[in-house]
Chains A and B, each alone.
Chain A
Amino acid sequence: MYAGKIKGTFAFGMNGVAIGPNSQKNIDALKKTDWLVVCEIYPDETSEFWKSPGVTADEMKKIPTTVYRLPGAGFAEKDGTFVNSARWLQWKGVALPPPGEAKLDQEILARIFLGVRELYRKEGGKFPDPVLNVTWNYSEPANPSLAEVAREINGRDLTTGQQLPGFGLLKDDGTTACGNWIYCGSWPEAGPLMQRRGTEDPSGLGVYPNWAWSWPANRRVLYNRASCDPAGKPWDPARAQIWWNEAQGKWVGNDVPDFKADSAPKEHMGPFIMNPEGIGRIFAPLAAFADGPLPEHYEPVESPIENPLHPKRSKNPVSKRFASAEDKFGSPAEGYNIVCTTFRLTEHYHYWTKNNPMNVQLVPEPFVEMPAELADELGLRGGEKVKVTSARGHYVAKAMVTRRIKPMRIDGKKTYQIGIPIHWGYRGIAEDAGKTALTPANMLSPAAIDPNAYTPEFKGFLVKVEKV
């Protein structure tokens, strides 16, 4: 988008400007696009990027982006599944309908799709086939029920019309259809397994096999073959997740085996089934890791010190970094010698509770958590304003001076850390009342990404701090 190659974006319940990293670059990227469609429950930093702080009236007139703001439904107004980090799909019902003209996400997307399809039919266009020929057999095409969508994602046998019971039955000959193989089996012919609320745990191991449905195949613990010795007997008899049953000739137990069910132990199939050799790796073959083959230590992309292992190559040479003019990095030599991390509060959630009086009451204004010693050095008292600057932007808020953060000694150097909660931006109850400096925390953060898992390294970076 920043390079001008992406012409439009849908932002549905994702506040890309506030999330960052490098919020200013995200704002500047949006200024280059033709259109932005935001579906949200409150106006937010993304939907109002065109009046972010620092944009002059003249500049605003020159921004070509057409912004469509669609009132969406909140989480309590939608059914569907939440998938958690334990891999459970838990179905939830609707608590109350959306207010006013707000619509469910699927209705908004369906209506846009149907409109675009009509345009393709009338006017043609580049590569219309996937748009014109997509299967859209919902009972209400303009507002598909998520139950129908979930059934579709589970997959069915197109010859019989039956829901598929598992991904093992998926074929590559066009006779089966499935939205995502890991969810195959979540809604078989028997019904929506993710709606189950069975609280039984016969083994007492905390498996709860009938509570919702866990991907894939309702396996609760992955690689559970590794809980048994090479002979197929559990290492710990008190924690028998699965085991080899010789008489039945298959793996059985309190969980669904994450393994080829009839592969006998004497066949020596390895438990880590996603690796061809079936076992874990310390030495990773070439191409398995971008920065392999051995585990290494690199300093973060902005670090207060040089890498003690190899100072000439401190940072990861292949970490993904962008090379635009706005992707700047700072170093201690340039005066950025305080470590900053962004964090979350108990009392707020992401970027929407700044609109909720209850949360705003509990923590009303943005702040910077700062060690008492650093505050003393700067001549600062709690509640006084500070300006935090990184190579990318700045953030202004009141200081919370605390003894809970102590200075660190890293590689012999005294180093301070400050913490900034993420939850404020330039639109919210406190912001609209003129009580904040309107700077989102992620103005400060860098876009640096792990080269293997693409895990973001946005939370920790270097800054300078001064009294305002």
Chain B
Amino acid sequence: MSRATLRVQAISGHAGSAPGTGTQRGERVAKLIDTTTCIGCKACEVACLEWNDLPFRETVFDNTYQTMPETAWNYWNLIQFREHTNEDGTLQWLMRKDQCMHCAEPGCLIACPADGAIVQYQNGIVDFQQEYCIGCQYCVAGCPFNIPKFNPATKKMFKCTLCTDRVSQGLEPACIKACPTGCLHFGSKEDMSAMAQARAAQLREHGGHKNAGVYDPEGVGGTSVIYVLHDATNPEAYGGLPKNPRVPLSVKLWKGPLKWLGNLAMIGGLIGVTMHYLRFGPKHVQAEPEERE
């Protein structure tokens, strides 16, 4: 696994194919987050800041234990706390670790116009390369999870890297290392999916959570970050987790049909005017006699 992250699979804004595509088979990695055993201790928040040298910041009290309303350019993972009343009137305090989902079909990468600013490795990790980022924020439009965040000072975009620097050295991501309850797991996508399904089955059969399931949304081709939810039929209860996330239709239209139409129109236009000139030539004006001086 150690050199898997050097094997690039897709590059944003890149003419041509990613170099080395299909030359080697990489193992896909995944992070499994079991929301049913998270205690909201925020060790993962701190571990991420410390590993990535991100500064501690001033926060304000907002009637919740949640550290801040959403992730930031320098705060890549956040526990979302929600007090949720079930249909039967019982209360659940839901805690969900919110960070980049590392989609197999990353809307951010598809939307990005800057060559090399977003890279997807064959192991599934989607990484921003700030040196190539132009700060246009198209990735913000492309992401169904509201993850990429803008640093107004440097005009670059940032998000969770799934600790690609650690993973490429055979280590688990910092958040997983810090988690005290063992609700975070890391391994191959295959193994993590199997573990998640087993845990969800256990919750359904023995835990009284008849809707427990795994969140691994197909609309983005599946993700390298998957959740076990007490109620997989209601992901929105977990602080804004979209039920059916997809690369937005607007992005797909813009990068697909509109691109083709536009290219056709422009090239067609140039060919059209050339043909017109060849056929009809310019207009001539009859000069008046008094002007011929």
**With contact pairs A346-B42, A362-B42, A404-B93 given, residues A357 and B65 touching in the complex (Cβ less than 8 Å):** no
**Binary per-residue interface labels of chain A (367-399) against chain B in the complex, 1 for a CB within 8 Å, 0 otherwise:** 100000000000001110000000000000011
Please state if B58 and A361 are interface contacts (CB–CB under 8 Å): yes
Range for the number of chain A residues in contact with chain B: 20 to 34
Is B85 part of the contact surface with A, judged by Cβ < 8 Å? yes
Is B24 part of the contact surface with A, judged by Cβ < 8 Å? no
Is A363 part of the contact surface with B, judged by Cβ < 8 Å? yes
Contacts A347-B65, A358-B56, A361-B58 known; list 8 others, CB within 8 Å.
Answer: A346-B42, A361-B67, A362-B67, A364-B59, A365-B60, A383-B61, A398-B63, A399-B63
Q: State the Cβ distance, A31 to closest chain B Cβ, in Å.
A: 33
Please state if B61 and A398 are interface contacts (CB–CB under 8 Å): yes
Please state if B39 and A403 are interface contacts (CB–CB under 8 Å): no
A-B contacts, CB under 8 A, total: 51
Chain B residues within an 8 Å CB radius of A66: none
Within 8 A of B (CB), among A396-431: 398-404
Please state if A364 and B91 are interface contacts (CB–CB under 8 Å): no
Chain B residues within an 8 Å CB radius of A400: 61, 63-64
**With contact pairs A346-B41, A361-B56 given, residues A383 and B62 touching in the complex (Cβ less than 8 Å):** yes
Q: State the Cβ distance, A28 to closest chain B Cβ, in Å.
A: 31
Residue in A346, A360, A364, A383 whose beta carbon sits within 8 Å of that of B63 in the complex: A383
Please state if B65 and A363 are interface contacts (CB–CB under 8 Å): yes
Bound form: Cα–Cα A401–B59 in Å: 19
Chain A residues within an 8 Å CB radius of B59: 361-362, 364
Please state if B63 and A357 are interface contacts (CB–CB under 8 Å): no
Chain B residues within an 8 Å CB radius of A381: 63
In the complex, what residue of chain A is closest to B42 when comparing beta carbons? Answer: A362
Chain B residues within an 8 Å CB radius of A402: 83
Residue in B41, B57, B85 whose beta carbon sits within 8 Å of that of A361 in the complex: B57
Chain B residues within an 8 Å CB radius of A382: 63-64
| 10 A-B residue pairings within 8 Å (CB atoms) | A346-B42, A361-B57, A361-B67, A364-B58, A364-B60, A383-B63, A400-B64, A401-B63, A402-B83, A403-B91
Chain A residues within an 8 Å CB radius of B60: 364-365
Is B231 part of the contact surface with A, judged by Cβ < 8 Å? no
Bound form: Cα–Cα A383–B61 in Å: 7
Residue in A360, A363, A403 whose beta carbon sits within 8 Å of that of B83 in the complex: A403
Residue in B42, B61, B63, B91 whose beta carbon sits within 8 Å of that of A347 in the complex: B42
In the complex, what residue of chain A is closest to B60 when comparing beta carbons? Answer: A364
Please state if A367 and B42 are interface contacts (CB–CB under 8 Å): no
Is B45 part of the contact surface with A, judged by Cβ < 8 Å? yes
B residues near A, CB below 8 A? 39-42, 45-46, 49, 56-65, 67, 83, 85, 91, 93
Q: State the Cβ distance, A29 to closest chain B Cβ, in Å.
A: 32
Chain A residues within an 8 Å CB radius of B62: 383
Please state if A404 and B91 are interface contacts (CB–CB under 8 Å): yes
Q: State the Cβ distance, B180 to closest chain A Cβ, in Å.
A: 10
Q: State the Cβ distance, B161 to closest chain A Cβ, in Å.
A: 21
Chain B residues within an 8 Å CB radius of A363: 65, 67
Q: State the Cβ distance, B256 to closest chain A Cβ, in Å.
A: 43
Chain A residues within an 8 Å CB radius of B85: 403
Please state if B40 and A346 are interface contacts (CB–CB under 8 Å): yes
Per CB-CB distance, the 8 closest pairs between chain A and chain B, nearest first, are A382-B63, A357-B56, A365-B61, A361-B56, A346-B41, A364-B59, A383-B63, A403-B83
Residue in A346, A357, A367, A403 whose beta carbon sits within 8 Å of that of B61 in the complex: A367
Chain A residues within an 8 Å CB radius of B67: 361-363
Chain A residues within an 8 Å CB radius of B58: 361, 364
In the complex, what residue of chain B is closest to A346 when comparing beta carbons? Answer: B41
Bound form: Cα–Cα A401–B83 in Å: 11
Bound form: Cα–Cα A186–B45 in Å: 39
Bound form: Cα–Cα A347–B59 in Å: 14
In the complex, what residue of chain B is closest to A358 when comparing beta carbons? Answer: B56
Bound form: Cα–Cα A398–B64 in Å: 11
Chain B residues within an 8 Å CB radius of A401: 63
Q: State the Cβ distance, A347 to closest chain B Cβ, in Å.
A: 6
Chain A residues within an 8 Å CB radius of B42: 346-347, 362
**With contact pairs A346-B42, A403-B83, A404-B83 given, residues A364 and B61 touching in the complex (Cβ less than 8 Å):** yes
Chain A residues within an 8 Å CB radius of B56: 357-358, 360-361
Residue in A357, A362, A398 whose beta carbon sits within 8 Å of that of B45 in the complex: A362
Chain B residues within an 8 Å CB radius of A347: 41-42, 65
Bound form: Cα–Cα A367–B83 in Å: 18
Bound form: Cα–Cα A121–B42 in Å: 56
Chain A residues within an 8 Å CB radius of B40: 346
In the complex, what residue of chain A is closest to B46 when comparing beta carbons? Answer: A358
Bound form: Cα–Cα A398–B60 in Å: 11
Bound form: Cα–Cα A382–B65 in Å: 12
Q: State the Cβ distance, A468 to closest chain B Cβ, in Å.
A: 15
Bound form: Cα–Cα A401–B49 in Å: 29
Chain A residues within an 8 Å CB radius of B63: 381-383, 398-401
